């Protein structure tokens, strides 16, 4: 299974960095995807589509004084 790592992960015999794409054992890849450490490499990116319009976020409201 080909996975893209969402965070750094390391052990005694391996180490992967955020964004790195690697082939791993199917069972291990599914476990890492289920735990949120990785995502299948063939999954679509979470980036904006070309030509998509950006949306501004509203500023947070100030806290009320008691």
Q: Which helix (H) or strand (E) holds 5?
A: strand 2-5
Segment holding 21, helix H or strand E: strand 21-23
Q: How many residues does the chain have?
A: 66
| Structural domain boundaries, residue 8 | 2-40
Domain contains 31 = yes
**Would you say residue 57 has pLDDT above 90?**
no
Residue with tokens 């960095």: 17
| Residue 66: inside a domain | no
Residue 8 located in a structural domain: yes
Strand duo 21-23 + 15-16: pairing: unpaired
Q: What pTM was estimated for this model as a whole? A: 0.62
Q: How confident is the model at residue 52 (pLDDT cuts 50, 70, 90)?
A: low
In a domain, 6, yes or no: yes
Tokens of 22: 């690697």
Q: How many domains does the chain have?
A: 1
């Amino acid at each position: 299974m080909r996975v893209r790592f969402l965070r750094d992960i390391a052990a005694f015999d391996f180490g992967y960095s955020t964004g790195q794409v690697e082939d791993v054992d199917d069972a291990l890849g599914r476990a890492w995807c289920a735990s949120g450490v990785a995502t299948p490499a063939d999954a679509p990116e979470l980036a904006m589509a070309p030509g998509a319009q950006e949306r501004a976020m509203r500023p947070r409201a100030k806290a009320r004084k008691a």
